[in-house]
A = this chain, B = another copy of it.
Amino acid sequence: MSALPERAAQRHALAAALGDGWLDGDACEPYATDAARYGGTALGVARPASTAKTSMLARVAAAHRIALVAQGARSGLVGAAIPDRSGTQCVVSFDRMRAIRAFDAANRSITVEAGVRLSEINRTAGEAGLCLPIDLGSDPAAGGLVGANAGGSRLIKYGDVRRNVLGLEIVLADAAGTVIDALAPLRKRNAGFDVAHCFIGANGANGLVTAVSFALAAIERSSCAVFVAFASYDAALAGLLAFERAFGELLSAFEFMSATAVRCVAAACPDLRIPGSTDAAACHALVEIATGMPGLDALLEARALETLEALAGERVVLDAACGAAERFWRIRDALPVAVAQEGIPLSFDVSFPRGALAAFVTGAEQWLADAHPSLRCHAFGHFGDGGCHLVVSIPHDQAQRYGPLQQVALRGALYERVVRAGGCFSAEHGIGPVNVAYYRKHVPAAQRQLAGAVQHAIDPLGLIGRVRY
From B248, B351, B431, A188 is in contact (CB under 8 Å) with B351
Decide if A429 touches B190 in the complex (CB within 8 Å). Answer: yes
Decide if B293 touches A451 in the complex (CB within 8 Å). Answer: no
* A181 interface hit (Cβ, 8 Å): yes
Residues of A at under 8 Å CB distance from B?
Answer: 104, 106-109, 129, 148-149, 151, 155-156, 159-160, 162-163, 172, 178-182, 184-195, 197-203, 205-206, 217-218, 220-221, 237, 241, 244-250, 291-294, 299, 303, 351-355, 382, 385-387, 422-431, 439, 442-444, 446-451, 453-454, 456-458, 467, 469
From B184, B194, B202, B451, A422 is in contact (CB under 8 Å) with B184
Decide if A205 touches B193 in the complex (CB within 8 Å). Answer: yes
> Which residues of B are found within 8 Å of A448, using beta-carbon distances?
192
Known contacts A247-B293, A355-B107; A197 and B189 CB within 8 A of each other: no
Decide if A206 touches B193 in the complex (CB within 8 Å). Answer: yes
A172 to B447, CA, bound (A): 11
From B163, B428, B469, A190 is in contact (CB under 8 Å) with B428
> Which residues of B are found within 8 Å of A354, using beta-carbon distances?
106-108
Tell me how many chains of this kind the complex includes: 2
From B107, B159, B424, B469, A163 is in contact (CB under 8 Å) with B159
The chain B residue sitting closest to A109, CB to CB, is: B353
> Which residues of B are found within 8 Å of A291, using beta-carbon distances?
248-250
For the complex of A and B, list the 5 residue pairs with the smallest distance between their C-beta atoms, beginning with the closest.
A248-B292, A197-B197, A457-B457, A193-B202, A188-B427
How many Å from the CB of A342 to the closest CB on chain B?
A: 25
Decide if B159 touches A192 in the complex (CB within 8 Å). Answer: no
Known contacts A292-B247, A454-B458; A201 and B195 CB within 8 A of each other: no
Decide if A192 touches B467 in the complex (CB within 8 Å). Answer: yes
From B193, B382, B387, B469, A451 is in contact (CB under 8 Å) with B193
> Which residues of B are found within 8 Å of A184, using beta-carbon distances?
353, 422, 424
Decide if A451 touches B107 in the complex (CB within 8 Å). Answer: no
A444 to B182, CA, bound (A): 9
How many Å from the CB of A196 to the closest CB on chain B?
A: 9
Known contacts A178-B446, A458-B450; A106 and B355 CB within 8 A of each other: yes
Known contacts A107-B353, A107-B354; A195 and B427 CB within 8 A of each other: no
How many Å from the CB of A51 to the closest CB on chain B?
A: 13
The chain B residue sitting closest to A358, CB to CB, is: B106
How many Å from the CB of A433 to the closest CB on chain B?
A: 14
Residue in A107, A156, A217, A425 whose Cβ sees the most chain B Cβ within 10 Å: A107
From B179, B189, B237, B451, A427 is in contact (CB under 8 Å) with B189
Decide if A353 touches B185 in the complex (CB within 8 Å). Answer: yes
The chain B residue sitting closest to A158, CB to CB, is: B249
Decide if A454 touches B451 in the complex (CB within 8 Å). Answer: no
> Which residues of B are found within 8 Å of A148, using beta-carbon distances?
190
> Which residues of B are found within 8 Å of A382, using beta-carbon distances?
188
> Which residues of B are found within 8 Å of A162, using beta-carbon distances?
194
The chain B residue sitting closest to A469, CB to CB, is: B192
How many Å from the CB of A75 to the closest CB on chain B?
A: 15
A191 to B151, CA, bound (A): 13
The chain B residue sitting closest to A213, CB to CB, is: B353
Decide if A188 touches B160 in the complex (CB within 8 Å). Answer: yes
Decide if B443 touches A385 in the complex (CB within 8 Å). Answer: no
The chain B residue sitting closest to A457, CB to CB, is: B457
Decide if B454 touches A188 in the complex (CB within 8 Å). Answer: no
Decide if A385 touches B187 in the complex (CB within 8 Å). Answer: yes
Decide if B199 touches A193 in the complex (CB within 8 Å). Answer: yes
The chain B residue sitting closest to A246, CB to CB, is: B293
Decide if B129 touches A353 in the complex (CB within 8 Å). Answer: no
